[in-house]
């Protein structure tokens, strides 16, 4: 991942964006949608996860969270499902009543390598199923135009030292 400056389309101010040369796992977001408020769910998570949003989403309520340090997709799924399995009753009730409980694996596509594999173990899939969740992948497109410019600084040439005769 290489940072580069770009102009913000709306604001016109310079913003920092990242150009990914290699395909990269980002995180596993858990997206919950319910007819009832989900605050008990967020409270049960405490400081163990990053809570991105909890509140109204149109006529429903949503909660969105992920791990601070996910490691691999498989590890992130197993850690998140273990947290949810150990929720106290009020939070587990919110989880069980939710209409959607989605584990969303985010991947940023790059220009290298030409293919990318992500292993999700049987144990992780079973854990999602046990708590009534579903699994999806979001793959963000590679910025091919930005990647066509050299993203890695070329090695510097050695300076030649001219020696003059005294």
Residue 16 falls within a domain, yes or no? Answer: no
Residue 54 falls within a domain, yes or no? Answer: yes
Per-residue pLDDT of 69-127, as tens digits, reads 999 999 999 999 999 999 999 999 999 999 999 999 999 988 777 778 889 999 999 99
CA dist., res. 2 & res. 18, Å (int): 6
Residue 15 falls within a domain, yes or no? Answer: no
Q: How many domains are contained in the chain?
A: 1
Residue 59 falls within a domain, yes or no? Answer: yes
Residue 147 falls within a domain, yes or no? Answer: no
Residue 89 structural domain: 22-141
| Secondary structure tally for the chain: helices H, strands E | 5, 7
Per-residue pLDDT of 3-24, as tens digits, reads 443 333 343 444 444 556 788 8
Model-level pTM? Answer: 0.75
Residue 39 falls within a domain, yes or no? Answer: yes
CATH of the domain at 57: 3.30.70
């Amino acid at each position: 991942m290489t940072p580069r400056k770009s102009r913000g389309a709306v604001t016109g101010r310079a913003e920092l964006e990242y150009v990914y040369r290699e395909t990269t796992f980002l995180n596993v977001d858990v997206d919950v949608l319910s007819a009832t408020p989900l605050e008990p769910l967020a409270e049960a998570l405490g400081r163990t996860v990053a809570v991105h949003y909890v509140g109204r989403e149109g006529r429903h309520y949503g909660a969105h969270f992920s791990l601070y340090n996910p490691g691999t997709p498989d590890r992130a799924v197993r850690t998140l499902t273990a947290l949810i399995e150990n929720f106290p009753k009020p939070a587990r009730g919110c989880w069980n009543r939710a209409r959607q409980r989605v584990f969303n694996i985010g991947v940023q596509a790059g220009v290298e390598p030409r293919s990318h594999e992500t292993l999700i173990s049987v144990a992780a899939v079973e854990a999602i199923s046990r708590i009534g969740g579903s699994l999806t992948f979001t793959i963000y497109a590679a910025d091919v135009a930005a990647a066509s410019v050299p993203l890695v600084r070329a090695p510097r040439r050695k300076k030649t030292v001219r020696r003059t005769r005294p």
